[in-house]
Structure 1
């Protein structure tokens, strides 16, 4: 465009354009970009035209009245930063992809596997507090070939797997038969559901489980804080684990 005859223009230079001329110039520039395929809205995966005829950027969640506004947005800092974040996210997802089946793995951390060497030697002893005369239990487990510190957890019946639930029912049924107490299947299920189960795990040994009767709830069974009524100790030198708790 010729700006030589405009006010405040120097000889041989472009004159000062007003807002109307700037808008005309911008529309010509956008039209040229669209015709030369430098800006192809059809191939842009992040732009679409809504029901009002406005352009929306799906990457930045912005709305634009015309192509010129969207072109300025594409060259802006916000859109470029979001493109970089999207690229990093795609690269991170590609690292999680597995070569078989083309799926996506939840975690790239290898699963811990070891060969179990059998059940450890353990002993359960009934105890009584000399001061409060409350009953309790002392669990002593020997791990002579332990590779890590033992872990323990108190679980109820509904936290067990289906297989372990059947084992628990069989255990309570056998206990009722050994004590020669008249019982029904409903009584066995009730006793099984009311009981607690202490599970102790240590690699490479198999897990052990101690059944705690439901009629004897534990005092504050917290695996994070040791108290006089509830404490545990792991002797790494001799490979022995102790856990003691009292009933309410």
Structure 2
């Protein structure tokens, strides 16, 4: 390195540079090297403020230009900050992996345990009676269903279903409708009856549940003549 033209040195002779001058030259070399090799756009800690200066978010320092910031990144303070940040990031990643592993193990354990199928008691015993009303000669159907194991908190229910709503008899026959009975864990049973108007008078359509004998009775009357019925 040319040391001539220094104060106190002879022409043609290489003067001895001071330690302070050597340090300045070293920093200038580092700045040039950093400017050529480092892409500041990818630096997560460099921020340009509204005054045009540069800030280091890692060390909370202020710098007049990019070269000054790059020199700062080569210093001891910034390098120690990078080391601490890398250690904290690694520790956080390990904690996340442990938490994820715990969740995975919990999920695996819960999926291994088989779910208990809902126990069904079976079909209720039933009887169907056909008759005619002594006064009106209306055709009458009576259904008696027995639920001996039904809990006291349950009571049988019934509903009517059209031929087009059910999925068992195909193709659907509009001449019939279906009467369904359901209660607790017993299987739902359905009876196919003529699709004709029913007499909805309270004496012609009667339901009764006997909680002691566990017997449910439904009696209905048709308004018009009908063909036979069958259980589906």
TM-score, normalising length: structure 1: 0.40
Structure of higher CA gyration radius:
2
Q: Return the structure number with greater relative CO, CA threshold 8 A, min gap 6.
A: 1
TM-score, normalising length: structure 2: 0.43
